[in-house]
Amino acid sequence: MEGFPDTKSIDAAAGAAERMPGVFRALFPGARPLLVADPATWRAAGERLEAAFRAAGAAPCPPFVFAAAPSERSRFVEETRLALEAAGAGAVAVAVGSGTINDLCKRASFELGRPYACFATAASVDGFASFGAPITDEAGFKITRECPAPRAVSAEPEILAAAPAFLASSGYGDLLGKVAAGADWLVAELVTGRDPVDRRAWELVQGPLERWVAAPEKIAAGDPAAVAALFEGLVASGLAMQVARSSRPASGTEHHFSHTWEMSGLRLADGSEPTHGHKVALGTVCSAALTRALFARDFGPADVPAALAAYPSWAEREARVRAEAPDSPRMQEAMLAECRAKHLGGDALRARLEFLAAHWGELRERALSQLERVPDPAARLAAAGCPARPADLATTGAAIRRLLPRVQMIRRRYTALDVAFETGRLGEIAAAIPE
């Protein structure tokens, strides 16, 4: 595990639970482990880990097991931090879980200036090995807070494969999204000149990507080898974010769709919130369709005057952004800050459009050759048990088309949607969103 800023040990083979005490002792000499779990993850791996620590003579702190599965609300971070403090200055958290439990331990440990480790119980997200944790405050506003990734990540294929099927399909959606995220990065690199592709981060994720996403039906069937490969891909995504010090290697338009649905309160028919990976899955289908539609038509020097005329002044832009969130001044301000950061005026706008016209063929090649690596995202996602059509997330193509302007507004990160916006074609390509 040479050269990753935060994570120094990764062990995802059978017997990882029994090896955890040795890993812990090597990375945190003199510390006592505090296992943090919820009832399900405690049954899946917590009991075995505690027995392993005892057998190794490591005297773990009494475990902290939430009475019910927690969410990423800040009050659960607080509870986790209090448990760590109560366990003493020498206690180091071992998150027994994948999504929420890991994020809570990551943030609480950071607040106390302590490192931590993660024993993942499901291949459900790519956050195991990433720095930063998405935490929702009591007003319901979600932001990703800075904090280092775990010093160690361990997991066992049999435990990962035994987790509920929707968790692995969520991880599959999050991982397949890297195809679309890669296309956005390649576009942004050429257009903005400020977002160079970090070769090491790129290779970590994009190098083996086809292999990781090759067998979606085996993910749906809970095949341990396929789920282990999925886990490897999710960990690599986290490591790539560590290397790049940015979520760019793992996140583009497909994640902007996910964030937009999250903030707009998308719910399934039974009232539950779709998982992150399931929202990314449908976001990936939409992103790929929109990007293909964007590059299906040429943009040349003759198209520049019309695009110049269509581009809004900042005053017009501000009014449109506010109209996207009429009831939430806080959301308006957040989106205005993002849009302001990428708004072009006068000479910069003309230069951008002339650049796009001059490099359109190269941009198309970059985006489409990347998307071609997985030419059938909807079919793959459906085979893995992911939502692949709007109806699968209890929404419609028309509803997604209405949200599209907001998807382009919520992050300053440059994507193919920004190319569409700048060329005045965002409304036109919306027709590509599936019904």
CB of 251 to Zn ion, least distance (A): 6
Residue nearest to Zn ion (CB): 174
What part of residues 255-274 is at the interface with Zn ion (CB under 5 A)? none
- Given the complex with Zn ion, which of 49 and 168 has the nearer CB atom? 168
Window of 52-60, 173-181, 335-343, 352-360 that interacts with Zn ion by CB under 5 A: 173-181
Least Å distance, CB 419 to Zn ion, is 22
Q: Of the listed pieces 23-31, 116-124, 169-177, 200-208, which binds Zn ion according to CB under 5 A?
A: 169-177
CB 88 within 8 A of CB 54: no
- Closer by beta carbon to Zn ion, 38 or else 174: 174
The least distance separating Zn ion from the CB of residue 255, rounded to whole angstroms, comes to 6
Q: Residues in contact with Zn ion, total (CB under 5 A)?
A: 1
Among 50, 174, 418, 422, binds Zn ion (CB under 5 A): 174
Contact 85, 114 (CB under 8 A): no
CB of 276 to Zn ion, least distance (A): 6
Q: Are 388 and 282 in contact (CB under 8 A)?
A: yes
Residue 384 Cβ vs Zn ion, minimum distance, rounded to whole Å: 15
Q: Is the CB of 174 or the CB of 184 nearer to Zn ion?
A: 174
Which of residues 21 and 177 has its CB atom nearest to Zn ion in the complex? 177
Amino acid sitting at position 200: R
- Return the range that interacts with Zn ion (CB under 5 A); candidates 82-90, 154-162, 170-178, 376-384: 170-178
Mask: binding to Zn ion, 110-139, rule CB under 5 A, as x and -? ------------------------------
Please name the amino acid found at residue 428: E
Least Å distance, CB 411 to Zn ion, is: 13
52 or 160, CB closer to Zn ion?
160
Indicate the residue among 134 and 390 with the shorter CB distance to Zn ion. Answer: 134
Least separation in angstroms between CB 176 and Zn ion:
11
Binding region for Zn ion (CB under 5 A) out of 2-10, 60-68, 172-180, 411-419: 172-180
Q: Choose between 176 and 215: whose C-beta lies nearer to Zn ion.
A: 176
CB of 185 to Zn ion, least distance (A): 15
Smaller CB distance to Zn ion: residue 50 or 174? 174
The residue among 21 and 134 lying less far from Zn ion, judged by its C-beta, is 134
Q: Supply the minimum distance, in Å, between the C-beta of residue 280 and Zn ion.
A: 5
At residue 312, what are phi and psi to the nearest 5 degrees?
-75, 150
Does the footprint of Zn ion cover residue 184 (CB under 5 A)?
no
Binding mask 319-348 for Zn ion (x = CB under 5 A): ------------------------------
Do 349 and 308 contact (CB within 8 A), yes or no?
A: yes
Binding site for Zn ion (CB under 5 A): 174
